[in-house]
């Protein structure tokens, strides 16, 4: 039995109890809402896809796509990643790899593997970037262009690729991911089916063991290790049970940086990728929402449930902690930069508040809850039995959400293949003991670092195992407006002066 709390503390305790419980209930209602929407939509979509697979080959009427990937210190994974991109089944596309000032042999490996030659590219500088040191084309596959530039972050590298891109659609990917050959065909489909579509995101799967023995084999199946399997469950929850639920309401808050297709004119109009945030994917998604809502034109950011991309996830606790700290900080940056989205459409009325209250504020609330229950136990104003019941409820709901996600995967694409993997079931229970707490602590640290504007060490998130852009080493936090944009470039021969060629800019006509 619990002890009676003396006034006025009884009011405080009651208020905290009500707040925490309301938070818990509303949070789970949101989860339930998106899971129900996904459960209704996903099996139907999958069935329809199987019933109407479409032409086996892409046709020349498909719009050409520029694939842009940023690479920073990616010597281990860059070659298979570029190979998987060059093997895409699509009639017209180019691959632009931007080497963002790597300190390892990324550029040398690319040069050797793909026989790079200097190529006098003339960029249409739509978005300013750091100095471009050189541009190269592959002799073995001319659709591959490599840009070598001074380090500036993933957003800056993507902007450099954007400037060089030739086509109206841009697919932004990651250098540590591998892609299904049908990636572009599937990602372009929503753009063709609905002319209002300005961006398309997709499910991302965790890279499995498939490619361990044969580097050319796709990394299918479940990954090794409990830590990676915890992340498999997280990815399933995040993509199938959450994003799939928000997408029909045009309320997607993030098009993942590992697999996102955008209309180039919209990216340029939005000012390109921002370079002063830790990562760029959520920020550009929210900026496009903001831009399109300001223009008051109908638009759509679509989502395809098929996992076109497999990415490598952190395989150590340290790298996972760094990654999640960065994610949390990026989330804080985005919701403050784009606070004007609040209340605008379904995105502003539900998805954005959900993001703030149940993603950004979740770690502080969890911390508050833990402190409250420890105090309650210490001072005896909440019985041990009540605490056990509450804890059981939390655990059961967490397991329930994971089970729903696994079930959604099974009734759709069965991404991790084969019979139900015993270790995945074990992970489903074990992730609640230690793993989730680690993620909360990292989230709290990220929010704290954002609050005090603490710069992260360069390379702090540049973990080769990070699912987010590995090139996203971070410079000191510098709040400021999005990068300015120009619609026309000075001639490349004039830019040459800025690119270290030594030729004076004054020798050439001024920019038009």
Q: Could you say which residues in the range 378-407 bind another protein, by CB under 8 A?
A: 382-383, 385-386, 389-390, 392-393, 396-397, 399-400, 403-404, 406-407
Peptide bond preceding 8 in cis form (omega within 30 of 0):
yes
The burial of 508, by beta-carbon neighbours within 10 Å (0-12 exposed, 13-18 middle, 19 or more buried), is given as middle
Angle between helices 106-114 and 78-86 (to 10 degrees): 40
- Tokens at 79, concatenated: 């070659």
For another protein, the binding residue among 7, 29, 51, 378 (CB under 8 A) is 51
188 or 207: whose CB is closer to another protein? 188
26 or 44: whose CB is closer to another protein? 44
Q: Give the number of residues in contact with another protein, rule: CB under 8 A.
A: 82
What are 203's strand-pairing partners? 307
CB of 390 to another protein, least distance (A): 6
Closest CA relative to residue 205, chosen from 359, 413, 402 = 413
Site for another protein in 263-282 (CB under 8 A): 263-265
- CA–CA distance, 490 with 467 (Å, rounded to integer): 37
193 or 216: whose CB is closer to another protein? 193
- CA–CA distance, 274 with 371 (Å, rounded to integer): 38
Site for another protein in 67-96 (CB under 8 A): 91-92, 94
For another protein, the binding residue among 12, 54, 434, 457 (CB under 8 A) is 54
Choose the stretch contacting another protein; rule: CB under 8 A; options: 164-172, 281-289, 354-362, 453-461: 164-172
For every residue of 307-343, DSSP letters joined together read EEEEE----SHHHHHHHHHHHHHHHHHHHHHTGGGTT
Choose the stretch contacting another protein; rule: CB under 8 A; options: 173-181, 294-302, 320-328, 495-503: 495-503
Residue 492, interface with another protein (CB under 8 A)? Answer: yes
Count of Cβ atoms closer than 10 Å to residue 431 Cβ: 23
Contact 72, 279 (CB under 8 A): no
Closest CA relative to residue 468, chosen from 282, 308, 334, 337 = 282
For another protein, the binding residue among 213, 296, 318, 419 (CB under 8 A) is 419
Residue 40, interface with another protein (CB under 8 A)? Answer: no
CB of 191 to another protein, least distance (A): 9
Residue 2, interface with another protein (CB under 8 A)? Answer: yes
Residue 375, interface with another protein (CB under 8 A)? Answer: no
Return the residue matching tokens 């957003």: 155
Site for another protein in 141-160 (CB under 8 A): 142
Residue 140, interface with another protein (CB under 8 A)? Answer: no
CB of 20 to another protein, least distance (A): 11
Choose the stretch contacting another protein; rule: CB under 8 A; options: 50-58, 286-294, 296-304, 433-441: 50-58
Site for another protein in 114-133 (CB under 8 A): 117-122, 124
For residue 475, give the 3-state DSSP assignment: coil
Q: Per-residue contact track with another protein, 191 to 210, x per CB under 8 A? A: -xxxx---------------
Residue 212, interface with another protein (CB under 8 A)? Answer: no
CB of 15 to another protein, least distance (A): 13
Residue 460, interface with another protein (CB under 8 A)? Answer: no
- CA–CA distance, 363 with 437 (Å, rounded to integer): 9
Site for another protein in 4-33 (CB under 8 A): 17
CB of 5 to another protein, least distance (A): 10
- The phi and psi torsions of 343 (rounded to 5 degrees) equal 85, 0
- Tokens at 234, concatenated: 């997280």
Cα dihedral across residues 220, 306, 280, 263: positive or negative: positive
Alpha-carbon Rg for the chain, nearest whole angstrom, is: 24
Angle at 23 between CA 17 and CA 25, to 5 degrees: 100
Residue 214, interface with another protein (CB under 8 A)? Answer: no
CB of 313 to another protein, least distance (A): 22
Residue 139, interface with another protein (CB under 8 A)? Answer: yes
- CA–CA distance, 252 with 243 (Å, rounded to integer): 6
Residue 251, interface with another protein (CB under 8 A)? Answer: no
């Amino acid at each position: 039995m619990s002890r009676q709390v003396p006034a006025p503390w009884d009011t405080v305790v009651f208020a905290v109890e009500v707040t925490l419980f309301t938070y818990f209930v509303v949070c789970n209602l949101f989860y339930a809402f998106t899971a129900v929407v996904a459960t209704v939509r996903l099996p139907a979509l999958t069935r329809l896809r199987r019933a109407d697979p479409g032409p086996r080959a892409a046709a020349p009427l498909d719009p050409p796509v520029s694939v842009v990937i940023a690479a920073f210190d990616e010597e281990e994974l860059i070659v298979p990643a570029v190979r998987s991109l060059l093997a895409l089944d699509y009639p017209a596309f180019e691959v632009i790899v931007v080497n963002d000032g790597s300190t390892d042999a990324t550029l040398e490996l690319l040069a050797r593997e793909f026989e790079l030659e200097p190529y006098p590219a003339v960029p249409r500088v739509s978005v300013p970037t750091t100095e471009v040191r050189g541009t190269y084309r592959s002799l073995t596959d001319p659709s591959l262009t490599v840009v070598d530039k001074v380090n500036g972050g993933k957003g800056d590298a993507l902007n450099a690729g954007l400037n060089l891109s030739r086509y109206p659609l841009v697919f932004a990917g990651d250098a540590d991911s591998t892609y299904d050959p049908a990636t572009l065909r599937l990602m372009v489909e929503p753009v063709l089916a609905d002319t209002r579509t300005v961006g398309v995101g997709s499910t991302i799967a965790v890279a499995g063991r498939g490619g361990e023995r044969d580097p050319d084999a796709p990394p299918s199946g479940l990954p090794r290790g409990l830590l990676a399997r915890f992340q498999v469950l997280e990815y399933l929850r995040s993509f199938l049970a959450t994003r799939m639920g928000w997408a029909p309401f045009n309320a997607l808050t993030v098009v993942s940086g590992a697999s996102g297709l955008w209309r180039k004119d919209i990216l340029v109009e939005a000012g390109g990728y921002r370079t002063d945030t830790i990562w760029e994917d959520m920020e550009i998604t929210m900026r496009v929402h903001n831009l399109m809502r300001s223009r008051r034109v109908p638009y759509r950011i679509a989502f395809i449930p098929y996992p076109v991309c497999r990415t490598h996830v952190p395989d150590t606790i340290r790298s996972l902690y760094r990654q999640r700290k960065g994610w949390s900080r990026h989330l804080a940056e985005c919701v403050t930069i784009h606070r004007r989205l609040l209340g605008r459409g379904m995105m502003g009325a539900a998805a954005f508040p959900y993001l703030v209250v149940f993603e950004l504020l979740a770690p502080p609330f969890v911390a508050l809850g833990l402190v409250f229950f420890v105090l309650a136990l210490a001072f005896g104003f909440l019985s041990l039995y009540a605490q056990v019941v509450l804890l059981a409820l939390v655990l059961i709901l967490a397991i329930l959400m994971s089970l729903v996600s696994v079930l959604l995967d099974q009734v759709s694409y069965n991404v991790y293949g084969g019979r139900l993997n015993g270790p995945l079931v074990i992970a489903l229970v074990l992730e609640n003991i230690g793993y989730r707490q680690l993620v909360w602590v990292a989230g709290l640290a990220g929010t704290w670092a954002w609050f005090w504007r603490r710069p992260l060490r360069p390379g702090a998130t540049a973990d080769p195992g990070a699912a987010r852009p590995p090139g996203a080493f971070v410079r000191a936090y510098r709040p400021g407006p999005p990068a300015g944009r120009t619609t026309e470039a000075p001639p490349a021969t004039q830019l040459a002066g800025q690119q270290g060629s030594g030729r004076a800019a004054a020798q050439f006509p001024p920019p038009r």
